[in-house]
Structure 1
Amino acid sequence: MTELVLPDVLRERAVRPGDRRYPLLRSTYTRVAAPALILLPENAAEVAAALEVAHDSGLPLSVRSGGHGLSGRSSNDGGIVLDVSAIDGVEVIDDGARVIRVGAGARWANVAAALAPHGWAISSGDHGNVGVGGLATAGGIGWLARSYGLTIDHIRAVDVVLPDGRLVHADATHDPDLFWAMRGAGDGVGVALAFEIEATPLRAVGFGQVMVEADRDGKTLRRWSEYLAAAPRELTGNAMVFPDGTGFAAQFIAVVAGDDQDRVRDLIAPLAELGVRPLDVAAQLVPYPALVSTGHLHPNTGQQPATTTNALLPTLTDDSARALMDVAAAPGRTLLQLRALGGAINDVAPDATAYTHRHQQVLAVLTQFPPGGGAELDAAAALLTPYADGAYRNFESRPDGVSFEGAFPGATGERVRDLHRRYDPDGLLRRVAATGSAVEPAP
């Protein structure tokens, strides 16, 4: 390939193979990649210049905020990576309204640490190394999801560089269509620079880990789903199911938004009674930043190869809970994780943002680790197909037309495609994904 000629403004921001920085910037958490060029802009003008270079090159383009990149799109082979990790500021812009301006390249551990002295928090995924931009343009299912809602539900404005280089400040009254798209489908309309997000007052949370024996027929999972769906919204819960000897175990992780020890105990203790028998129960009060610790921060070098997909589900039935246990029991040894939804997530109207899934109660995340891969994952996911009711973009490592339709069904998908064409008519942001799959159906 002929070496790309860069404008002066980007020459100090470019990393190519052979550069000492390249090994720490080339990959995602789950995949070793080999891009031809990595650009590290530090402001809007440099992002615009990087987009122009990418447009003129004709090469695949990945936009990365610096975090895990489970969506499969934040690096590529032979193309350009536009990495905004240097745009990582965190500042309070309205103390009374608790509005924070967060750079798209920040990671959530740093955001939580910056907010801790104020006694505030933003629900933001479940690991400190997750990047702000990737999560805050797709949804944001975090430790406080049932009490706070999605991260996008509290975004008040976004600064976006469009594919043609224009910088736009989008909110509910200024370019509302762009603002709508940036909250759930932002990766197809522009490059986010910064978000204005409303935080919630929160210093400490109750954190519980409960292990139970789980029955093969799914009754444990159904009871867990029903308990979370009916629980006060201070409680958010995750579950992981795995073989244990000749049977199965379920690990329930619970977060209670508040520091009332009696309340924490009252909400977490019933989880131990949902299985065949309790195996272990632990709970404690911790500062919110402990959940997304700065200790989580690390470079992403493909150190955890994995393939992931997901399905949104209503409150579990006997049949869908049994299907989940079939996934856990399948010979392909797919890791099954469940996340409780509902609560504040479902207070938001389905058409308020590009994330339209406002009635489901459970997100099932399926992951295969080597030597397993796509074939084993597809076989496991097929067991949930009869019960699936949508999908979440950030837990799909092979984005394609099918996953696009799951994330953006019906009229939502049509609006998303229309806005992608309006703001990115040349398809710069919709070039081939790292996996070689189309990221959405052709217009």
Structure 2
Amino acid sequence: MTTTTTLEGKIITPADRRYALLRSTYTQVARPAMVILPETTADVVSALHYAREQDLPIAVRSGGHGLSGRSSNNGGTVIDLSALNEIRVLDRGARLVRVGAGARWAHVARALAPAGLAISSGDHGNVGVGGLATAGGIGWLARDYGLTIDHIRAAEIVLADGTVVRADAEHDPDLFWAVRGAGAGVGIVTAFEIEAAELRDVGMAQLTMLADRDGRTLTRWADYLATAPRELTTAGMLMSYGDDVVLSLTAVIASPDDSRAHRAVAPLRGVGRKLLDQTARRLPYAGLVPTAHLHTNIGQQPSTTINGLLRELTPAAAKSITAAAIGPTPALMQLRSLGGAINDVAADDTAYAHRDHNVLVIGTVFPPQDDAALGRVWRNVAEHTDGAYANFSTRLDAAAFRRFYPGRTGDRVLDIWRRYDPDGIFRSALYQNELA
């Protein structure tokens, strides 16, 4: 049986009516020569062989939500994993779950809910499993559960030559190390075995407040999170509002105890200049990443994004972040609380080395502002950052690589990428030959 026979009906070209719904990512309208829709791991092998025979750039897509837009391309081949979406509890006692790379996190949360299990998985149900679970996984349970990659126990991977391997701590340990944080450059991950958390409901509070223009609101937020119960994870959006600046905080408490949740959230109400609105409720974990989030990605939200990690949110850093949100060409500034279980893992245990950082700051601009505009806004913020997270950046070049993977971690990542992908077909698609 030929490759084209096994892929019959699964190769989508511009003449196919399905093409319009498959060509793009969430942030970018793209025009690939073809999109291949494998349904099994064997199909992925065939798709990879076929794509390499065409000698076209290859992009791999799990969800298409990736901000970089590199899960599609112009004129190349896209291998879309959306049909590899199995979600199965392998061992309830060990909380071990098999999840296909093409599943969306909304489906994962809904499928695991009857078993009382959850996997910390980003903040939007439409995000694909593969992209998040190969780069880190900073989610709603991050300080209590850690990163998604910290709980991957095995991964099924199609290598650049079409070989299928199952990597874990004992089999292909170097490959397993790289998959957890730098997996996009080693091959096509088709499935993960992940140890889930025992969790049904969470507490959630949403607080909107006027923030201090000099950054003191942000330092009070960070100072509290440094000592807060690790069940508490927060995400904030800092936005200009006329002559004021507003901080919108979402707090998630991974505890079934309402009184404990109330005590954890209470200090957050006082970090701003004035509390404008607040809500609190208990909901199933699946309610944080609901199936209502699911949508087709057609380039509907063009944006430019960059991020940085901070060990400590100093007054100077907080002032720079706030200024970026309220300047003449403001950026949308987001903040994520890290620390807790994330920092329990040694820096060299996975390819995500940033294990002593406590804050992630993200800057985004929308058209007509562009990368140059974001660069001007971000310049003062960047002085305070130390490293970056691969999943929140539209800049993918050699400098960005070293921010994602610093020092010896980066050297080891490159060595493994080159060993498992000597022709650089995945590496070149990610970093445009910057790391050839």
Who is 1:60 aligned against? 57
Cα pair 2:64 2:127 within 8 Å, conserved: yes
2:126 pairs with one of 109, 115, 129 = 129
1:185 pairs with one of 182, 187, 209 = 182
Who is 1:269 aligned against? 266
Task: Give the drift of 1:54.
Answer: 2.1
Once the two structures are superposed, residues 225-268 of structure 1 have per-residue CA deviations (whole angstroms, 9 ceiling, x without a partner) of 11112101000001111112211111111000022111111111
- More divergent stretch after superposition (372-381 vs 196-205): 372-381
Paired with 2:34 and 2:225, the residues of 1 have a C-alpha distance of 46
Once the two structures are superposed, residues 265-307 of structure 1 have per-residue CA deviations (whole angstroms, 9 ceiling, x without a partner) of 1111211101112111211101110000001001100111111
Matches within 5 A, 1:39-188: 39-188=36-185
Matches within 5 A, 1:245-394: 245-394=242-391
Once the two structures are superposed, residues 186-228 of structure 1 have per-residue CA deviations (whole angstroms, 9 ceiling, x without a partner) of 1100100100000111111010011111111101001101111
Q: Which amino acid aligns with 1:373?
A: D
Structure 1 SS opposite 2:325: helix
Paired with 1:145 and 1:412, the residues of 2 have a C-alpha distance of 22
Once the two structures are superposed, residues 368-387 of structure 1 have per-residue CA deviations (whole angstroms, 9 ceiling, x without a partner) of 11111111111122111211
1:441 aligns with 2:406: no
Paired with 2:384 and 2:435, the residues of 1 have a C-alpha distance of 23
1:418 aligns with 2:419: no
Regions of 4+ moved over 4 Å: none
Q: Please give the root-mean-square deviation of Cα atoms over the aligned residues, in Å.
A: 1.2
Paired with 2:76 and 2:64, the residues of 1 have a C-alpha distance of 19
Cα pair 1:212 1:275 within 8 Å, conserved: yes
Structure 1 SS opposite 2:391: helix
Q: Which amino acid aligns with 1:396?
A: S
Cα pair 2:427 2:435 within 8 Å, conserved: no
Percent of aligned pairs sharing the same letter: 57
Matches within 5 A, 1:5-24: 7-24=4-21
Task: Give the drift of 1:439.
Answer: 6.3
Cα pair 1:35 1:75 within 8 Å, conserved: yes
Who is 1:225 aligned against? 222
Structure 2 SS opposite 1:19: coil
Structure 2 SS opposite 1:38: strand
Cα pair 1:72 1:396 within 8 Å, conserved: no
Paired with 2:393 and 2:186, the residues of 1 have a C-alpha distance of 19
Once the two structures are superposed, residues 302-329 of structure 1 have per-residue CA deviations (whole angstroms, 9 ceiling, x without a partner) of 1111111111111211111111011112
Cα pair 1:404 1:439 within 8 Å, conserved: no
Structure 2 SS opposite 1:209: strand
Paired with 2:306 and 2:75, the residues of 1 have a C-alpha distance of 25
Cα pair 1:178 1:189 within 8 Å, conserved: yes
In the alignment, structure 2 segments of 5+ residues that lack a partner are: none
Cα pair 1:225 1:316 within 8 Å, conserved: yes
Structure 2 SS opposite 1:258: coil
In the alignment, structure 1 segments of 5+ residues that lack a partner are: none
Paired with 1:330 and 1:75, the residues of 2 have a C-alpha distance of 33
Cα pair 1:399 1:439 within 8 Å, conserved: no
Paired with 1:363 and 1:440, the residues of 2 have a C-alpha distance of 25
TM, length-normalised to structure 1: 0.96
- More divergent stretch after superposition (376-385 vs 197-206): 376-385
Paired with 1:336 and 1:77, the residues of 2 have a C-alpha distance of 30
Paired with 2:170 and 2:150, the residues of 1 have a C-alpha distance of 16
Paired with 2:177 and 2:433, the residues of 1 have a C-alpha distance of 19
Q: How many residues align?
A: 435
Task: Give the drift of 1:431.
Answer: 2.5
Paired with 1:428 and 1:231, the residues of 2 have a C-alpha distance of 44
Cα pair 1:404 1:440 within 8 Å, conserved: no
Paired with 2:427 and 2:56, the residues of 1 have a C-alpha distance of 11
Q: Which amino acid aligns with 2:280?
A: A
Q: Which amino acid aligns with 1:125?
A: G
Task: Give the drift of 1:6.
Answer: 5.7
Task: Give the drift of 1:438.
Answer: 2.5
